[in-house]
Amino acid sequence: MSSKRGKLFILSGPSGAGKGTLRAIALSGVKNLVYSISCTTRPPRAGETNGVEYRFISKGDFENKINLHEFLEYANVHGCYYGTLRDDVERELEAGNDVLLEIDVQGAEQVKNILSEAVLIFIMPPSREILESRLRARGTENEEILKVRLNNAVDEMSKAASYKHVIINDELDRAAQELKEIILSYRN
């Protein structure tokens, strides 16, 4: 066990803002930073592997974990459950590692209420039009789901002001550097 507890960093933002890309860059470029893999009931997208991007579990298993209070946070987003297991995060923080969560605004608020020291970072797309273009280019959602995600994005972006840091992901290298600098600024 490390004598110094790690820091918890939370990345939020609408679908298509670039959270996953920025997360991957930060994880590869910042030592002692680990990613806590969330659980979800949504089906895997092409190229996703269970236990890598998410733990894909059934709705029944998810609801059982809710009843057992195993989640640090959870939410129903776009009709599917997403949640972070409390033990995963606590184990890494106690080991002295900084932990990065990529969760929605509902989950971020839940975590902040439990772990007030969590650092909230919002990833903002440069515009709604660019966000829509990114989501369409991804090709992972049908038109109905795409409309839901875009409507939710407007609501999520309205909550950016409650975050400690907001990064506009208009230029990937600059945004990634800004994220790394924010994380490193919390280390002594």
pLDDT tens sequence across 140-177? 778 888 888 888 898 999 999 999 999 999 999 999 99
Give the residue from 7, 29, 19 showing the smallest Cα distance to 185.
Answer: 7
Query: Which amino acid, 136?
Result: R
**Domain 8-185 = CATH 3.40.50.300:** yes
At residue 111, the pLDDT reads 95
Q: Is the predicted pLDDT of residue 19 greater than 90, yes or no? A: yes
Query: Which amino acid, 151?
Result: N
3-state SS assignment for residue 14: coil
Secondary element (H or E) of residue 156:
helix 143-157
CA distance 73 to 105: 11
Q: Can you say whether residue 32 is alpha, beta or left, with left for phi > 0 and alpha for psi between -120 and 50 degrees?
A: left
CB 92 within 8 A of CB 36: yes
Give the residue from 12, 170, 4, 25 showing the smallest Cα distance to 92.
Answer: 4
Q: Are strands 80-85 and 71-77 parallel, antiparallel or unpaired?
A: antiparallel
Domain boundaries defined on the chain: 8-185
Query: Which amino acid, 137?
Result: A
CB 69 within 8 A of CB 84: no
At residue 101, the pLDDT reads 95
At residue 1, the pLDDT reads 53
- pLDDT band, very low/low/confident/very high, at 106 (cuts 50, 70, 90): confident
Q: Is the predicted pLDDT of residue 186 greater than 60, yes or no? A: yes
Q: How far is CA 102 from the centre of its chain?
A: 1
Burial of 47 (0-12, 13-18, 19+ CB in 10 A): exposed
Mean pLDDT confidence for 113-125: 96
Mean pLDDT of all residues belonging to the chain:
92
* Stated pTM of the model: 0.87
